[in-house]
Chains A and B, each alone.
Chain A
Amino acid sequence: MSLIIETENITKKYDDFTAVNSINLKVPKNSVYGVLGPNGAGKTTLISMLCTILKPTMGTGRVNGYDILKQAKEVRESIGIVFQSRALDDILTGREHLEMHASLYGVSHDVRQDRIDEVLDLIALGKKADEYVKTYSGGMKRRLEIGRGLIHHPKVLFLDEPTLGLDPQTRESIWEYIKNLNQAQDLTVLLTTHYMEEADKLCDEVAIINQGQIITADSPKNLKRELKADTITINVDSPQEFVEKIQGLEFIKDAFLMDGEVKLLVEMGENLIPAVVEFASQEGFPIKSVELDHPSLEDVFIKFTGSKISSEGK
């Protein structure tokens, strides 16, 4: 498996504050890779260094085979970037943004028009393509920025919090859009996010970072499997007694009462529900409802850091 982004102990310090602390990131080619962490974890600093916008204090990295310190121009030519904050000019049209970007990135004249049409098709701006950007909705602006980042056919697309501040529906459509892009083109996507769901649904692999360091990195599925903690929630009469009884079972890692419901922590919960139900009826506890929850990346994050990702990182 070849890597398209690789960093060696990349570090960024501001006075006595270390924003990124000796990170070794390995991003496989043609994957959708997520950098997940709370606000202030160092995600933007990390990708700013990879985009050659920011110089690392120590360490270095390679993007598309080019050194981010010595070959900044080549790196910039190989990447597309969508910044966390908007980078659009209100008084230019969508099409003009694309034209401008194409010429700044030296897209040759004979394919320029085709590329622009292609991207306009992709981002589905319709008639709005020739209206000023100030009339666009948040989702349209985001799509335009992503499309713009693709005009010069980059090898890596950096997306810094691509769906920040968008409504759930728009968010879903952006996800779908990024997935399709990654499948249709020879393109690696590196995105930062603090939305668990986004990392879970979109990414082939996720690096969880906190306080400037990678805590763990793997596919979302493996990360969650590692927790070995599905939760079975059961509604029964006299739950207290049920908890005491069922604790004796060998496959139950923990059982407790929460809000009048019984919570059972188990591994591979889907296989154990029949056994739990049978046990309950044998012991004379009629079950009213059963629910199974797989752990989320949030649980993974809590396990490693002891705090919720939605709270500000310190």
Chain B
Amino acid sequence: MAELEGIYTIWLRETKRFFRYKSRIVTSVVTPLLWLIIFGTGLGAAVRFGATAGGYKAFIYPGIVGQTILFTSIFSGLSVIMDRQYGFLKEILVAPISRPAIVMGKALGISTAAVIQATILLLLSFIVGVSMSPLVFISAMIVSLIMSVGLGGLGLVIAAFTDSMEGFNLIMSFIVLPMFLLSGALFPITGLPSWLQAAVYVNPLTYGVDALRSIILNQSALPLGIDVLAIIIFALIMIFVAALLFSKKEQSLM
């Protein structure tokens, strides 16, 4: 009971912060729209993309939803670094609640933010000419939720090893951007050179994007069941590792 309340309390704070930084919500919707409208239209005009009804723009749409979830989740996870710098993490870590409860609360708070942003994008599907039934919409939201728990957990894991926001550029260049580019968000993952293929398949985001594409466009490289299983396992591992790190590294986090 106390644990549940602890999780709720941490979640509530994350969610309040999300809604109070209005500029973050705006940019998180504008950036993917720029990708869809400018990049999608621009490249779409240059390449012939017969496989998907709606063309290239429609093809990258699930990928851009995945990208939004990736960016929001990782960066929200990294907010722990800010909490540490501003001292607020101490207030949380010194409280008599378990470390896994703290990690769960954080991860759920992160997912809430990510799912809200994904939902906004899903509501804007008409922009790329994709129509959605309520079932498709809800399935896509569920997949977004699972993806964001895992990616948020990854953000927390990275944060546990990062002392200051100066590491931000490194994380951007070496983790976030490669994950995005290697996820099949922007190109089909079948028929790639084998080195690239391998890199794509070790990337957890690939399975999330493939699942979204399977649900929204009814086309995918892998069966939906495999995709969903992969992102569930990824989420469980990340939460477990983050909880472990927060317990073990407690002293150095404060």
Contact = CB atoms under 8 A, between A and B. Distances in A.
Interface of A: 51, 53-55, 73, 76-77, 81, 83, 85-92, 96, 100-101, 103-106, 148
Interface of B: 2, 5-6, 8-9, 12-13, 16-17, 20-21, 83, 86-88, 90-97, 251, 254
A106 B96 contact: yes
B96 A73 contact: yes
A90 B9 contact: no
Contact of B95 (A55, A86, A89, A105): A105
Contacts of B254: 53
The 5 closest A-B pairs by CB, nearest first: A104-B95, A87-B87, A76-B96, A87-B91, A103-B9
A105 B86 CA distance: 21
B95 A87 contact: no
A178 to B, nearest CB: 20
B84 to A, nearest CB: 10
A81 B94 CA distance: 9
A81 B96 CA distance: 12
Nearest to A149: B91
Nearest to B16: A92
A100 B90 contact: no
A73 B96 CA distance: 6
Contacts of A55: 251
A76 B5 contact: no
Contacts of B96: 73, 76-77, 104-106
Contact of A51 (B2, B5, B13, B94): B94
20 contacts: A53-B93, A53-B254, A54-B251, A77-B96, A83-B87, A85-B87, A86-B86, A87-B87, A88-B86, A88-B87, A90-B86, A91-B20, A101-B95, A103-B6, A103-B9, A104-B9, A104-B92, A105-B96, A106-B96, A148-B91
A98 to B, nearest CB: 12
Contacts of B21: 91
B251 A89 contact: no
| Chain B CB within 10 A, most for which of A87, A96, A101, A104 | A104
A73 B97 CA distance: 8
Given A87-B87, A88-B86, 9 more contacts: A51-B94, A53-B254, A77-B96, A83-B87, A86-B86, A89-B13, A91-B17, A92-B17, A104-B96
Contact of A100 (B9, B87, B251): B9
Contacts of A86: 86-87
Contacts of A77: 96
A83 B97 contact: no
B94 A53 contact: yes
A90 B21 CA distance: 11
A193 to B, nearest CB: 19
A76 B254 CA distance: 15
A76 B97 CA distance: 10
Nearest to A109: B5
Contacts of B2: 106
Nearest to B96: A76
| Chain B CB within 10 A, most for which of A87, A91, A101, A106 | A87
B90 A104 contact: no
Contacts of B90: 53, 83, 87
A92 B13 CA distance: 8
B86 A106 contact: no
B26 to A, nearest CB: 16
Contacts of B6: 103-104
A73 B13 CA distance: 23
A55 B2 CA distance: 25
A223 to B, nearest CB: 32
A86 B9 CA distance: 20
A96 B19 CA distance: 15
| Chain A CB within 10 A, most for which of B8, B83, B94 | B94
